[in-house]
Structures are given as C-alpha cells and as structure tokens.
Amino acid sequence: MARISEPTVRRLSHYYRVLDEVAAEGRPVISSHVLAEREGITSAQVRKDLSSFGSFGRRGLGYEVQRLRTEIRAILGLDRRWRVVVVGAGHIGSALLAYRGFGDQGFDVVAVYDNDGERVGQRLGALVVRPVAELSGRDDFELGVIATPVRAAQDVADLLVAAGARGILNFAPRKLRVPAGVALRTVDMTMEFEGLSFALSQPRARRRRRTSR
Amino acid sequence: MARISEPTVRRLSHYYRVLDEVAAEGRPVISSHVLAEREGITSAQVRKDLSSFGSFGRRGLGYEVQRLRTEIRAILGLDRRWRVVVVGAGHIGSALLAYRGFGDQGFDVVAVYDNDGERVGQRLGALVVRPVAELSGRDDFELGVIATPVRAAQDVADLLVAAGARGILNFAPRKLRVPAGVALRTVDMTMEFEGLSFALSQPRARRRRRTSR
DNA sequence: TTTTGTGAACGTGTTCACAGCG
DNA sequence: CGCTGTGAACACGTTCACAAAA
C-alpha cells in the first residue's frame, strides 16, 4: 500500500462522521459527490482518498453507506479499543476525562497522573490521580496524552515513550522530540488563536482558502 | 504582499515562541540555521517564511532577536488586544477561561455564554455565565470560541457571525460554514485521536514524516 | 568567510478529465 | 447513462544552490 498522507487521514475521519450521519438518516448509498459536498471538497478528492485503500464503490451507483463506514472504521483502527494514559490533571486533563465522546470512539482513559501534590489522590470520574513517578512501571497502554504545563512536556514525553507509549497527543505549546516509530500529534491552541489574529490583521482583500469555510 | 500559506503562519507562531526563549537566554542574534534546528525544519524554510514579509536579517550575521520578535509580533497581530467571546461553559470552555496563557498573548475573554440553565448565572473566574440569547446584542468583540456540543455548533457559529465575529475558533468536531471574510479554525480532538489510531494500526515499516518528531 | 534572500528544481497533494464498468 | 477509479496536468509548498551583502 502506498504511503497515506496526513490530509487524507484527516479526511477519513470526516468521512467517517458524515457516514454516521447519513446512516442515521437511513440512506443506503452515497456518491462521492454528496460525500464531498458535506465536506466542502471535490468529489475527485473523495474518490482518490478512498481508492488508496481499495475499491469500495460501485460504478454508476456510489458507495454503500454501511459497508464504507465499516471499511473506514477498520482503516482508522477504530475496530478495537485503545488504552490512554493522561498526564496532567489540570483543566485540559480533566476536560478530556469528562468527555464521554472518546470512550464511544474506542479510547479508554485507564489512568491519570500529575505531579502536583494537591491533585494526587483526588478522584476524577472513575479514576484517582497518581504521582507521575508511578508512570514508569506501567506498560498496559498505547496512547499518552500530555496535558501538563509546557516546561514539563518534553520530560513527560520521554517518560511516556520509556513506558512504551506508541502514540502521543500533546496539548503543550511546544514541539516535542520523540523517537521514530512513536506517533505524535500536537494540539496547540495558542497557535490557533494566533492564526486567527493573523488572518484578522491582514488587509481584507484576498480570499483565504483553508481559513474560510 | 504575496499570499501567505497557512503552514507559514503556523511556523511564524513557532518562531515567535523560540525567539522568546532565545531572548530569555540573552542571545542577541540568531541565524536561520539555529532557528530551524529548534523547529526541526530547514534553514531555507525559515528564510523563505521571513522573506515573504521583508528583509529582517543581516547577511553574514543572522537575525537580531529582539527586532525579529517585534516584527513577527506585529505580523501576527499580537501588538494589540483581541476581545474573545466563549460560547459553552462546559469543560473545554472553563478550561479556556482558566488558562492565563491567552491573556498574556493579548486575548481577553470578555464574556461566556451557555444555554444550560444550571450554568447560567454561575461565576467562572471574573465572569458570570450568561444565556446564549443575550449574545445577539453584543458587538464589542472580534473572536468567538465555540465550545458547545456538536449539535449546537453551527447555530452558535451563525449567531457569532450575526453578532459581528470576525474570527471563530471551533472545538466541536464538525465542519462549520461561515461567510467568506470570517476566519475559521477548528480544533478537533477526536480527529487527532483517530489520526494516532490510524498511525498505530499501520504495519510498522514506512517512516511517517509529520507524525514523527 | 558567513549567512541572508531568492529563483529554480523538486516533491507532494489536489483537480481534471476520461476510460472502464455497472 | 451514471459514477467510480485513476493517469495526467496542475498548483502549491519545500528544498536546493548560489549570487549578493556584510
């Protein structure tokens, strides 16, 4: 299988969500055109994305909604459960813990760690916050979430990797170094705000592409 | 000025942060090479990015840290304050309210709205949660943050636009439609988790670029 | 000599356009 | 005929490589 680009993976997530909606509407089949319309992209893009994983459609007809949904689910690895460790029991960490949506998608938070003595021992949902030092022993998880202050982020990343994390989601506004083979995604809200600030500071002439719509 | 790409804007944010660090270290000058190293990109990229706004460096020497920091600050529109309205006083909304980092960067949250009767009237930091209906009157803000459940997201976006929002940061996992001229950024955590799930589900051979490092 | 600024070359992702198939 | 699947064309972003300047 050829290499899959990151934009393609992001769009797969979107398709998956649209298919959920469409399935709920009871529609049995969807064309690349309709799927594209809901996304604001071209139908060719939809077909290209899907064709890199196989031929899921029927010419002259479109894609069978349930079938395509199942395929994408498998492609994204959502046909299994992932164990997630959250480090940082502050506002973002607790927000993640409280959000049920992740559990529905197959992501189970199995532990929360923090270094703040005040937070350790506290109950957060079904979990009790533990000291970060105890992270070392652990090896029964796949994903780590970094929701700590920025100064601790790289150290926590190293700890997570040492404990066997295969993927990390980082909320600290800093580029992290992780070994090849460990997947890393960063959500940097500060950067998003700054992106908006930039867009609003530009002379209001040119049409920006990704920014609008 | 030629059109600026979104990746360039994101990198500007990074440069800005690196310059803060470097300034704190007391270093007066930085070369594109060193700036690139901290970012994990090439020095040519740094120079290209910066050169689309002007000639800030000196050949044979590098960039004067304070000067460059000030320039980028102005480019990003961070030399003024932005008034932000948050809609949704749930976990994400409160987390944003509680995070002081945004205030430091020039973003002031001036109001919080929610439709949940239990939350309306509650105090969140210095603000009191107000009913979403009251949003209509308001016009003394530039940025709106959507931190509501996904089903309300598009309606809230429309309300924000009607109230005069020029930019929107959306935390709901849904593509939103906004008129051209209104800047939109979406932070979709579900999608990030799914991206990690995908990466971990791939046969562990090929080296992915953006995902690692 | 060092390092910037930048046209040219390159690589990657998107769109076009049509052959292939139902 | 309608819609998918896909090579070819295109657009865009990144890297190279070097002339220009300090």
pLDDT, one tens digit per residue, over A14-55 is: 999 999 999 999 999 999 999 999 889 999 999 999 999 999
Between CA B115 and C1' D10 the distance (Å) reads 48
For B133, which DSSP code? G
Inter-chain touch A166–B200, beta carbons under 8 Å: yes
Pairing between β-strand A127-128 and β-strand A130-131 as defined by DSSP bridges: unpaired
**What average pLDDT does range B4-9 have in this prediction?**
98
The Cβ of residue A32 has, within 10 Å, a number of other Cβ atoms equal to 20
Angle ∠(B137,B118,A126) on CA atoms, nearest 5 = 130
Query: What is the percentage of chain B residues whose pLDDT exceeds 70?
Result: 95
Residue A209 has pLDDT above 60, yes or no: no
Does A40 reach chain B within 8 Å, measured CB to CB? yes
Round to a whole number and report the distance in Å from the CA of B12 to the C1' of D18. 26
CB-based contact (8 Å) between B153 and chain A?
Answer: no
Q: Which residues pair with A124 in a beta bridge?
A: A127
Whole-number pLDDT of residue B137: 85
Residues 1-30 of chain A whose Cβ lies under 8 A from any Cβ of chain B: 3-4, 6, 9-10, 12-14, 16-17
For residue B200, which amino acid is it?
A: L
- Name the token pair of B164: 């005069």
Strand partners, B58: B62
Q: Residue B47 CB closer than 7 angstroms to strand C?
A: yes
Neighbours of A160 (CB within 10 A): 27
Report the pLDDT averaged over residues B60-72.
Answer: 98
CB-based contacts of B179, cutoff 8 Å, min separation 6: A212, B161
> Does any strand D atom come closer than 7 Å to the Cβ of B60?
yes
Nearest nucleotide to A42 (CA to C1') is C15
What B73-79 contacts at long range (C-beta under 8 Å, 24+ apart), as own/partner pairs, is: B73/B16, B75/A198, B75/A201, B75/B12, B76/A194, B76/A197, B76/A198, B76/A201, B76/B9, B76/B12, B76/B13, B76/B16, B77/A197, B77/A198, B77/A200, B77/A201, B78/A194, B78/A197, B78/B16, B78/B105, B78/B106, B79/B106
Nucleic strand C under 7 Å from the C-beta of B48:
yes
- Tell me the chain A residues in contact with residue B188 when contact means C-beta distances shorter than 8 Å: 13
3-state helix, strand, coil in chain A (%, to 5): 40, 20, 40
Q: Among residues of chain B, what percentage have pLDDT more than 90? A: 89
Check residue B205 and give its pLDDT: 55
* Tokens encoding A61: 């007809």
Q: Do B191 and A102 touch (CB under 8 A)?
A: no
In this predicted model, what pLDDT tens digit does every residue of A194-206 receive, in sequence order?
Answer: 999 999 999 865 4
What average pLDDT does the structure give for chain A? 93
Vertex A132 angle, CA A126 and A136, to 5°: 105
Sorted by sequence, the CB contacts under 8 Å of residue A209 that are 6+ apart come out as none
Q: Is the pLDDT of residue B206 over 50?
A: no
Q: pLDDT, tens digit, for every residue of B133-153? A: 999 989 999 999 999 999 999
Cross-strand bridge partners of residue B130: B113
C1’ C15 / CA B70, Å: 40
Q: Which two tokens stand for residue B171?
A: 């935390």
Contact B211 A12 (CB under 8 A): no
Bridge-partner residues for B87, per DSSP? B113, B146
CA to C1' distance (Å), from A59 to D2? 8
User: What confidence tens digit (pLDDT) does each residue in A119-137 have?
Assistant: 999 999 999 999 999 999 8
Over residues A53-69, the pLDDT tens digits come to: 999 999 999 999 999 99
- Is the C-beta atom of B60 closer than 7 angstroms to strand C? yes
Supply the pTM of this predicted model. Answer: 0.94
What is the three-state SS of B79-114?
CCCEEEEEECCCHHHHHHHHCCHHHHHCEEEEEEEE
Amino acid occupying residue A66: Q
Alpha helices in chain A (DSSP H): 6-24, 32-39, 43-51, 65-75, 91-98, 101-104, 150-162, 189-201
